[in-house]
Every structure is written in C-alpha cells, then in structure tokens.
Amino acid sequence: MEIGGLSVTLNQSALQTKVGAALLKMSMDNTKEIADNLNNMMEAIDPNLGKVIDARA
C-alpha cells in the first residue's frame, strides 16, 4: 500500500509541476503581449517614443 500511495503522490506532484509551468508560460506570454501593445501605442502617439522607451525592457 505504501508503494501505491507513493506512486499517487508522485503523479500528483508531476501534474502540479506541469500545471505550474503552463501557468507561468501563459503569464509570461501575456506580459510580452502587453509590452508589445504598449510600445505600439507609444509609437502611435509619437513614432520616436517607442524607440526611446521600451516597455519590454
């Protein structure tokens, strides 16, 4: 029974790690998209502003 419990625990841990990595990737992709949109808005206001201030930095 201990081996079965250990197997379940390891499977749950692996699943939690995969979910955590997926959420982190989603949040990083979202942050990059927001920074790109911010740069585009700044360039729309002043074409030189997006080159001086980089929101992705």
Q: Is residue 13 part of a domain?
A: no
The per-residue pLDDT for 31 is 84
Q: Is residue 8 part of a domain?
A: no
Per-residue pLDDT for the chain (57 aa), expressed as one digit of tens each? 588 888 888 888 888 888 888 888 888 888 888 888 888 887 888 777 656 666 565
Domain span at residue 48 reads 26-57
Q: Is residue 6 part of a domain?
A: no
DSSP codes of every residue in the chain: -HHHHHHHHHHHHHHHHHHHHHHHHHHHHHHHHHHHHHHHHHHHH-TTHHHHS-TT-
Residues 6+ apart with CB under 8 A from 54: 39
Q: Is residue 17 part of a domain?
A: no
* Contact yes or no for 42/53 (Cβ under 8 A): yes
Q: Is residue 11 part of a domain?
A: no
The per-residue pLDDT for 21 is 87
The per-residue pLDDT for 20 is 86
> What global pTM score does this model have?
0.51
Provide the token pair at 44: 């729309």
Q: How many domains does the chain have?
A: 1
